[in-house]
Amino acid sequence: MWGDSTTNENGEEFERFLAESGLVVLNENRGEPTFQTVNGASFIDATFASPGIARKLNLWRVETWGQSDYRPIRMEFSFEDEVETPKRDARFCVKRGKWGKYTESLLESKNKIRATITEYADDVNKKADAINDGIVKACNDAIPTSTGKYKQQAWWTGCLRIAKKKTEMLRRRYVAIMTEGRSAQSIEQARRMYRIQRRR
């Protein structure tokens, strides 16, 4: 998973831990051992992080300088300002609309719309805004809105919600790694973690 060509029970247990914890291995090892002595070498060091941090990784590399048997690992991240996800706008529940009240509200706005059209005869945008404002006001007056919330099913527990999020996260990670053309080792690691999570 992080450079060694062999695995054992400890490695498999560690893979399960990563999958259960939703963590991602950052190692992009290209044959460079992280521990090396005159008697041998190994890939003993594993670097892992949350998917959010992993997406910000630009570089993971084993360096050759240093006096210790443990070789330095260089990592570079790109931390940019997170873009805040806009909240979902409320939707009009058209089936529950009070259409008599809608018509009444629209008629009340008629004089204002006509006045705007007369005053700004050559300004198409002003006319459009006046008509739009009248329609929106009528909708707000007569049609209830919904934020899209739904009643949670009794069988849908917190554990299932967390498991679903982890599975979706691992699937997105797997697809992203394949799309980015990463190493076969990274692709296999992502695939294995995704499959382990799906079986749970």
Residues 1/11, Cβ–Cβ less than 8 Å: yes
115 pLDDT above the threshold of 80: yes
- The Cα–Cα gap between 67 and 1 comes to 27
Report, as an integer, the average pLDDT of 9-14. 79
Confidence label for 4 from pLDDT (cuts 50, 70 and 90) = low
Q: Name the β-bridge partners of 37.
A: 40
Helix, strand or coil, per DSSP, at residue 147: coil
Give residue-wise pLDDT tens across range 50-94: 888 888 888 888 887 777 788 888 888 887 655 454 455 667 788
How confident is the model at residue 160, as a pLDDT?
A: 73
Count of CA atoms in the C-beta half-sphere (13 A) of 136: 7
- The Cα–Cα gap between 62 and 57 comes to 15
Residue 29, φ and ψ in degrees, nearest 5: -75, 135
How confident is the model at residue 30, as a pLDDT?
A: 64
pTM: 0.36
- The Cα–Cα gap between 26 and 173 comes to 12
